[in-house]
Amino acid sequence: MRVGMRTVVALTGALALSLVSGCAKGGGAGSSSGTVTYWLWDANQLPAYQACAKGFEKENPGLHVKITQLGWDDYWTKLTASFIAGTEPDVFTDHIQKFGQFADLKVLEPLDDLGIDPAAYQKGLADNWIGQDGHRYGAPKDWDTVALFYNQKAAKDAGLTAEQLNSLSWNPEDGGTFEKAIAHLTVDRNGRRGDEPGFDKNHVKVYGLASNGAGDGDGQTQWSNFAASAGWTYTDKKRWGSKYRYDSKTFQSVIKWYFGLAKKGYMAPFTAYNSQSSPGNAQVAAGTAAATFDGAWMISTYAGFKGVKIATALTPEGPTGKRATMMNGLADSVTKNARNKAGALKWVKYLSSDECQKTVGGYGIVFPATPAGTKAAVAAYEKKGLDVSAFTKPVADKKDFTTFSYPITNYAADVYALMHPAMQDIYGNGKSVTSLNRTNSQINLILDQ
């Protein structure tokens, strides 16, 4: 670890912590006696990885995998704290949103010797985990895309068919057929729809669209699909960009239109959103919103709603003539100071293998990174009676779809710290989108360091 102290602002916004050089000599909470410690955050995936652990232990007598599952917020707070205390796990589930910061702080072990073949995984997943130094720091784990989840009864009552909802288009001038559909799905307390005379935007009973917050600097399940389908990119390079582009006129026109849906009464206001109690899925489940954009990792959650039948639709076509969705891919990383480094590397190699990925796919919770794992997941979803084509089609059809990743840069936590309040001010307080010019300049000054 390098000398000095860096402030790490947890991307969850929960805590600011410092990583001190040399604090974790000797490693984390693993054991050289044969235990490999592994952390993940998704409780739904725990059984699948427990099954993988059994398969791994059978192939590697003497090695035991100890899995710890933590909720999303606690996960990143405790992981960051563990690097300070020297109690970090041997292996952890890594997120591309956090990768830049961890790579910059040099707390990850290179995985070059694992022989990861990028061609063995869905396109682009393996490449995202190459650091600026050319070393690999993550083994592909799974992937997800974003689609529109909607209440089937609400759509039927509005006279909107599945075919219509899968054929929507948008533009930042008048919102296109997407805005018309969202307006028609909106109903005020008097029963008037958003596109009908006399609609009362100040007393809405059912919003056409629920947000998942302001979207911070990435807008994964908020505005990212609109910005990308308008031709915008986060930074000047696909990976490890040196300049952010939040000052782009294209981006700002998208954001002005998107949050303008709330001003018109078609999208739930910022006050209706709470990351803990009322995200988009909760609003759809409660019947206060007809639809929301969300990720593939939420498929099982929506399918489990009581008394509400949910379907999914593709993201709308944008001004570029293409539909777009973020394609996020998780990975497994080994910590630099892992106590059982040899066992950790074997475990990560196994996690990224077809054997484990097909096992995980069979649970129908996520889409594993290998094609065989993805195929197993699709079959598992079909067995549950779930159509997941809105998520898989963008990956298979590059002609009509654009897929893109989280922005991968240095100082990711600092970018979050600036963009989080800036986007909330626009959505929640009506601040002008041109205020992003100053925020963007501040971010780029940091990147220039």
Same domain, 244 and 313: yes
pLDDT at residue 25, rounded to an integer: 36
Same domain, 102 and 176: no
Measured CA distances, 87 to 28, 39, 116, 241 (Å): 4, 12, 28, 32
Same domain, 52 and 124: yes
236: Cα separation from own chain's centroid: 21
Same domain, 177 and 293: yes
pLDDT at residue 195, rounded to an integer: 98
CATH number of the domain within which 361 lies? 3.40.190.10
pLDDT at residue 241, rounded to an integer: 92
Helix (H, G, I), strand (E, B) or coil at 240: coil
Q: What is the CA radius of gyration of the chain?
A: 22
Same domain, 263 and 355: no
Same domain, 269 and 382: no
Distance from C-alpha of 177 to C-alpha of 255, rounded to nearest angstrom: 18
Task: Report yes or no: 235 and 409 within 8 Å, Cβ to Cβ.
Answer: yes
In tens, the pLDDT along 289-331 reads 999 999 999 999 999 999 999 999 999 999 999 999 999 999 9
Same domain, 272 and 322: yes
Domain boundary among 370, 386, 402: 386
Same domain, 243 and 305: yes
pLDDT at residue 323, rounded to an integer: 98
Same domain, 299 and 238: yes
Q: Which two tokens stand for residue 196?
A: 């009908």
Q: What's the N-to-C CA distance of the chain in angstroms?
A: 19
87 within domain boundaries: yes
Sign of CA dihedral 24, 25, 30, 36: positive
Query: Is the pTM above the cut of 0.85?
Result: yes
The number of beta carbons lying within 10 Å of the beta carbon of residue 378 is 19
Same domain, 157 and 294: yes
Residue ranges in the chain modelled with pLDDT below 50: 1-32
27 within domain boundaries: yes
Same domain, 344 and 195: no
224 within domain boundaries: yes
Task: Report yes or no: 356 and 55 within 8 Å, Cβ to Cβ.
Answer: yes
188 within domain boundaries: yes
Per the structure, the complete domain to which residue 235 belongs is given by 146-326+411-447
The number of beta carbons lying within 10 Å of the beta carbon of residue 151 is 24
Same domain, 316 and 256: yes
pLDDT at residue 101, rounded to an integer: 85
Domain count across the chain: 2
> Residue 93: which of 341, 328, 335, 332 has the closest Cα?
332
356 within domain boundaries: yes
Measured CA distances, 221 to 3, 236, 327, 406 (Å): 38, 22, 11, 12
306 within domain boundaries: yes
395 within domain boundaries: no
307 within domain boundaries: yes
